[in-house]
Amino acid sequence: MKIKIGIADDQQLFLRSLSNLISSFNDFEVVCEALNGEELLKCLETIATTPDIILTDVRMPVMDGPTVVAKIAVAYPGIKLVALSMKEDDHSILSMLRAGCSAYLLKDVHPRDLEKALLEVHNTGYYNSDTLSLHYRRLLRRHEDDEVKLTDREKTFLQLACSDSTYKEIAAKMFLSEKTIDGYREALFLKLNVKSRVGMALEAIRKELVVF
């Protein structure tokens, strides 16, 4: 009986070729390929045999990694979840681990390490790559102050603030008074720990709070 794998990644070429690769491993077979979180959930509903392990990307359109991982973790507690990302940044790792991933793999691992990791996840339930375990404690410690929680209106404002327009123009676009905009600005300055609009825009891009 082979170990059944599900994969979700928005890069079609990566998805298909990774599937191909995993299928070429001795003990594995791919039972599910999805281009985003929503497709992954649909796939899980339709197939007869649920996967043992699901590999999922962090950033995906329609439904992203953390969201779908959280849903699967409650709906299918038996499935082991592995995050797959190209970026080794704290934010992505944290959000995936918190959502319920038991392992985090970087896309630049060697195929043999991938196979090793998948076997380890299947047998022991978890896997930590070197780089991850090194920073693990630090990550968990910084857990709270790392989190930037924004309201919907703040997100909208922030997105508009990352542009060449003045606050007056932003206020007009959001159908709000300039004073309200000034309030959002102040709130964002505090939350992002900056002291100018440029700093705010830069932080927003760094923390990927806006599309850029």
Partner DNA sequence: TCGGTAAAGAGGAATAACCCCCATTTAAAT
Partner DNA sequence: ATTTAAATGGGGGTTATTCCTCTTTACCGA
- How many Å is the Cα radius of gyration of the chain? 20
Q: Does 103 bind a copy of itself (CB under 8 A)?
A: no
Q: Which of 27, 146, 147, 186 binds DNA (CB under 7 A)?
A: 186
End-to-end CA distance of the chain: 45
Give the span between the Cα atoms of 49 and 175, in whole angstroms: 51
What string marks each residue from 47 to 86 as x (binds a copy of itself by CB under 8 A) or -? ---------------------------------------x
Render 7-37 in DSSP notation, one character per residue: EE-S-HHHHHHHHHHHHHSTTEEEEEEESSH
With CB cut-offs between 5 and 8 Å by kind, which of a copy of itself, DNA, none does residue 110 bind?
A: a copy of itself
Eight-state DSSP code of residue 127 = B
Question: Which residues, in sequence order, are bridge partners of residue 34?
Answer: 8
Q: Does 145 bind a copy of itself (CB under 8 A)?
A: no
**Beta strands 80-85 and 28-34: pairing type?**
unpaired
Give the span between the Cα atoms of 105 and 82, in whole angstroms: 7
Q: Does 8 bind a copy of itself (CB under 8 A)?
A: no
Task: With contacts defined by CB under 8 A, name the span among 71-79, 145-153, 175-183, 188-196 that binds a copy of itself.
Answer: 188-196
Q: Which of residues 146-175 bind DNA (CB under 7 A)?
A: 149, 151-154, 166-168, 174
Kindly list the residues in this chain that would bind a copy of itself in the complex (CB under 8 A): 10-14, 16-18, 20-21, 24, 35, 86, 105-111, 114, 161-166, 194-199, 201-202, 205, 212
